[in-house]
Amino acid sequence: MITALCAAACLAAAPTSLGAWEPDVAAARAYAEQRPGVVSFAVRTDGRFWGHRTTRGVPSASVLKAMLLVAYLRRGDVRARPLRRADKRLLAPMVRRSDDVTATRVRGIVGDAGLYRLAKVARMQRFKTAPIWGMSRVDARDQTRFFLHIDRFVPPRHRSYAMTLLRTVVPSQRWGVGRATPDGWRISFKGGWGSGSGAVDHQVALLQRGDLRVSVAIMTTSNGSHAAGKRTLEGVARRLLRGLDDVTPPAGPRPAAAAPPASS
């Protein structure tokens, strides 16, 4: 039997289907250092991980709404039945246009227990709720772990709906990573911002091309203005995702990806 330690080592050493591609972390860090505020980020593929200040805890703002969406769909009274109009009236505005009123209602339904259960399943290590949901603590490392296979955390009957919401964020909120998506890649994402003040501007995304997956989380604080925060998010994203438009899925069937090492 292959031990867990050996399996993790073999995975770390194995080439990925993304070939030699790596995010340009050095360029992203250099850019971030020239911007106002404080920036942390992470990029994850199956078996590989890169980042900068990846465990810096920040207020979640509206990126928590992706967790609220999944936690709601995992509830015992929801997961086994078709979604009703009342469910969709809560979830669609919360995700697609980042409505706070519906998010507060969903938070009241799933509670801290539902969020912590999801965090445990997703192997988040530092997530912490707060009485005001937007002040819950998240970090880039945990969020890329959650987003890389976010669809797997959703019950099968609700996966298509959940991913459609994350892919159809309204045009007015498709700034930052939404403007930096490489050609040929499909993006599912959620952003969060501090009421337009620039105090908090974050984005977490899953990019897919065929069977290939890349998750990215960019967390910024103290930007001075929302406009500055949006520019920082886009600039960091463009540098991290540089070269992905040249990566194409391998021909033929691809074996199911193993889970990343527990230390990643």
36-71 residue pLDDT tens? 999 999 999 998 999 999 999 999 999 999 999 999
pTM to 2 decimals?
A: 0.89
Q: Which helix (H) or strand (E) holds 221?
A: strand 212-221
Decide if pLDDT at 15 tops 80: no
Band the pLDDT of 17: cuts 50, 70, 90: confident
Question: Bridge-partner residues for 206, per DSSP?
Answer: 188, 215
Distance CA 192, CA 136 (A): 12
Return mean pLDDT, the chain: 90
* Residues 91 and 124: beta-carbon distance below 8 Å: no
Helix (H, G, I), strand (E, B) or coil at 27: helix
CA 141 to mean position of chain CA atoms: 10
Report the CATH architecture of 22-244. 3-Layer(aba) Sandwich (3.40)
**Token pair 């990846």 in the structure block, residue:** 54
85-133 residue pLDDT tens? 999 999 999 999 999 999 999 999 999 999 999 999 999 999 999 999 9
Residue 264, pLDDT score: 60
191-246 residue pLDDT tens? 999 877 899 999 999 999 999 999 999 999 999 999 999 999 999 999 999 999 98
- Which residue in 20, 17, 112, 32 sits closest to 64, CA to CA? 112
Q: Which of 30-34, 236-240, 245-249 has the lowest mean pLDDT?
A: 245-249
